[in-house]
Amino acid sequence: MSADLSASVDILTAARPKYPYPGLRPFQIDEWPIFFGRERMVDEVIERLAAHHLVLIHGASGCGKSSLVRAGVLPTLAGQHLRVGAPWRLCMMRPSNGPLWSVASEFARLEGDAEYIKRAGDIIRHLSRREVTLASVASSLRGLQGQRICLLVDQFEELFRFEKETSREEAELFVDLLVRNNVEVTRGMKPRGQAGVHVVVTMRSEFLGECARFNGLAEAINQTQFLVPRMDRDSLIRAIRRPAQLYGGEVSADLVERLVADVARGEDELPLIQHGLMYLWNEAARARPGGKIVLDAAPLEQRADLRPSCRIMQTQSSMKRRPIWSADARSNVCFAHSPI
Ligand SMILES: Nc1ncnc2c1ncn2[C@@H]1O[C@H](COP(=O)(O)OP(=O)(O)O)[C@@H](O)[C@H]1O
Ligand SMILES: [Mg+2]
């Protein structure tokens, strides 16, 4: 399942990522040093999380939802831990393998037991009882009393397929847990000393309507949704330039302008420019091993096959451009690199 996220400090002191641009896949938690352009949004999400304990982050496929949480929100929470000494325990899951099982195994992992899969079996029985809450279950676990836990539920839309194909009952129990967690906190009903579970959900916006089929979910979402805004020009320029600079390289002004213009033209250009930058970086590093890497627009101008959309078509030659960003195709791309 996921990498060990409970040791927040390790995330912040981990080695610099190997490359400055992750390409098509989302940023991972330990890639926060190369993640730029979402600084204000990260603060906004954390403010909402403090008030509600449930935040739904939604937007189009490929707009940067997963990256915002993984490389922005979670490492920032870990940084707060370092500054004020208040522990945050971080975990993440996707609903497709069974939402209750995924929460149970993440909680078991936080307990730190080497036999956590066996332990997850006990926790799932506990989670399945109608009267419990995420906080009460977390508080009953070894070492988690009074702790603050942040649970990322990435690609929440997978729940709707799970509900139809596998178990409506488990999907409902899971949604009840999320809704009750939020209601208790909003009404100030959380008992003192209990663990606090803060849940960040990411979902493609086109599934918002589906949420209303679950009791209480639409009400909860109405209080806490966050539609991911597009990055403004300055943020985009930081996201393009700063990673290269961190590695002693540079992105030429021409290339920056070219990529910014690409983004202005289309809705889903972020993955394309990210993929393009990764490609250009790898090519330049191969051409000048050990030398200063300067990325410029020339290869894009000279070769039509190096334009962002064409490159995607080449690397994914069996898929047409649009379906690359459909849930299944993109999650396959992400799975190849990502811990969950
Ligand atoms: N702040 C950012 N700067 C540069 N590239 C980004 C940023 N956020 C996301 N990306 C890139 O955009 C693409 C889509 O990001 P992802 O987080 O997977 O989006 P979503 O979860 O909305 O589908 C990926 O290629 C990712 O590397
Ligand atoms: Mg995603």
Q: What is the CATH number of the domain that holds 25?
A: 3.40.50.300
Mean pLDDT of 143-160: 92
Is residue 332 in some structural domain? Answer: no
- Which of these three, 227, 260, 276, is where a domain ends? 227
Pocket test for ligand 1, best of 45, 226, 274, 325 (most atoms within 8 A of CB): 274
Q: Residue 66 Cα, ligand 2 centroid: separation in angstroms?
A: 4
| CA 160 from centroid of its chain's CA atoms | 19
Q: Residue 187 Cα, ligand 1 centroid: separation in angstroms?
A: 35
From CA 78, how far away is CA 75, in angstroms rounded?
5
From CA 197, how far away is CA 183, in angstroms rounded?
12
The tens digit of pLDDT for each residue in 236-295 reads 999 999 999 999 999 999 999 988 888 777 756 788 889 889 989 998 998 888 889 999
Nearest-atom number in ligand 1 for the CA of 21 is: 27
- Which of these three, 187, 212, 227, is where a domain ends? 227
Is residue 172 in some structural domain? Answer: yes
Closest to 127 in 3D by CA, of 155, 78, 93: 93
pTM, full prediction: 0.86
Residue 304: pLDDT band by 50, 70, 90 thresholds?
Answer: low
Report pLDDT for 163: 97
The tens digit of pLDDT for each residue in 89-126 reads 899 999 999 999 999 999 999 988 777 788 999 999 99
**Same domain? 237 vs 221:** no
Q: Residue 338 Cα, ligand 1 centroid: separation in angstroms?
A: 13
Pocket test for ligand 1, best of 68, 233, 270 (most atoms within 8 A of CB): 270
Question: What is the CA angle 40-77-197, rounded to 5?
Answer: 115
The tens digit of pLDDT for each residue in 65-98 reads 999 999 999 999 988 766 666 678 899 999 999 9
> How many distinct structural domains can be found in the chain?
2
The tens digit of pLDDT for each residue in 171-222 reads 999 999 999 887 666 665 556 666 789 999 999 999 999 999 999 999 999 9
Q: Which domain holds residue 215?
A: 8-227
Least confident of 25-29, 60-64, 161-165, 302-306: 302-306
In this structure, the residues whose C-beta lies within 6 A of any atom of ligand 1 are: 22, 24, 26-27, 35, 37-38, 59, 61-67, 239, 270-271, 274
